[in-house]
Amino acid sequence: MTEQVMNKKGADVDPRAFPKFSLSTYLPALPFFAIFGFFFLFPIFRLIYVSFLSNDNQLTLSNFQTALQEPYRTGFLNSVKIGLFSAALAAFPGAIAAFYIESYGPSKLRRTIGAMSGVLANTGGVPLAFMFTAALGFQGQLTKILKAAGWDIYAGYFSLGSFTGLLIVYLYFQLPLMIIIFSPAILALRHEWEEAAKNLGASARQYWLRIGIPLLFPSFIASFLLLFASGFSAYATANALTVGNLPLTPLQIGGLLDGNVSASQLNLGKALGVMMILISALAVIPYLAIQRRTSRWQLR
C-alpha cells in the first residue's frame, strides 16, 4: 500500500480527522444546480436586491412606494381583475367541458382534444392577437357577420384593446388551459366510487353531492388559481392589442424596460417585478400545494 492510501485509510478511521465532505453524493447534481442557479436563481435574487436600491445605489423602499401609487396601482388592479375574470369565465365552462370529454369521450377523441388544447393554451401573444384582430377587429369578418345579424359590437366603446376585448381574447387560451389542467381530476374520479355509492343507496344527485363534487373541488380551485396566474401575467397579447390605454402591470414593466417610459426611479420596474412575483406566488404556491395533496388518490 502506498503511503497516500495508508494516510487516507487512517483518516477514515481516525475520529479526530477532519470530517470528510462526501463529494460524490452531491456531485452529479452540480450541472443542474449550476445552470439553474446561474440562469434562474441569480436573476431573481438580483431582481429582488436591485428593487431595494435607489438611483444612487442606496437601500430604499421608495421604489415600492411608487409602485403602489398611480398609475401603477391601477395597473395592478386591472391585472388582478383580468386574471380573476378570465379565470372565472374559463373555469366553469372548462370544467364542464373537461367532465364530458373525459367521462364520455372515446380514447382517440380525448387525446386529440388534449393535444389541441395544448396548442391553444400555449397560443399566446402575437399570433393570437392578430387572429382576433382579423376576426373581431373593426374590419373583421366576425364583426361583419355579427353586424349583419343585428349586433354592432363597435356601436359602443368596445375595442379589442379594452378590458372587455382583452378578456374575450384571453378566454381563447384560458379555456383550453382549464381543460388541460382539470382533466386529470376528472380522470381520477374512479367509476368504482360511483358504483359503490349507487350500491350503497345513493342516487346520482347524492353521489355528486357527497362524493363527486367534494373530490373535484380542490382540483377546481387549484385550476382556478393557475388560470388566474396565467391571466395576470400575460404580456404579449395585451401588448399587441392595447395601445397604452389600459394600464396593466406586465405592460408597464415592459415599458420601463424598453426605456420608452422614462421614470425618475431607475429601479421602479424591478419593484414592480417583485410585486408581480408576490401576487403570482400567492396563487401558484397554493395551486402546487393542493395538487400535491390531491395526487394522493389520483394517478394510482
Q: Segment contacting another protein (CB under 8 A): 10-18, 65-73, 131-139, 148-156?
A: 131-139
Q: Is the peptide bond before 93 cis (omega within 30 degrees of 0)?
A: no
Nearer to another protein, 8 or 193 (CB): 193
Of 95, 159, 181, 270, the one binding another protein by CB under 8 A: 270
Please report where in the chains the cell 353586424 appears, as a residue: 147
Nearer to another protein, 18 or 39 (CB): 39
State in angstroms the smallest separation of the CB of 296 from another protein. 5
Using rule CB under 8 A, residue 88 touches another protein:
no
Using rule CB under 8 A, residue 235 touches another protein:
yes
Nearer to another protein, 202 or 261 (CB): 202
Residues 132-161 contacting another protein, CB under 8 A: 132-137, 139-142, 145
Q: Segment contacting another protein (CB under 8 A): 13-21, 54-62, 65-73, 187-195?
A: 187-195
Contact 174, 230 (CB under 8 A): yes
Return the SS3 of 13: helix
Contact 66, 272 (CB under 8 A): no
Contact 173, 85 (CB under 8 A): no
State in angstroms the smallest separation of the CB of 2 from another protein. 27
Question: How many C-beta atoms lie closer than 10 Å to residue 38's C-beta?
Answer: 10
Nearer to another protein, 15 or 28 (CB): 28
Helices 163-187 and 213-233, interaxial angle, to 10°? Answer: 140
Nearer to another protein, 61 or 209 (CB): 209
SS (H, E, C) 111-163: HHHHHHHHHHHCCCHHHHHHHHHHHHCCCCHHHHHHHHCCCCCCCCCCCCCCH
Of 17, 68, 209, 288, the one binding another protein by CB under 8 A: 288
Residues 89-128 contacting another protein, CB under 8 A: 96-97, 100-101, 103-105, 107-108, 111-116, 118-120, 122-128
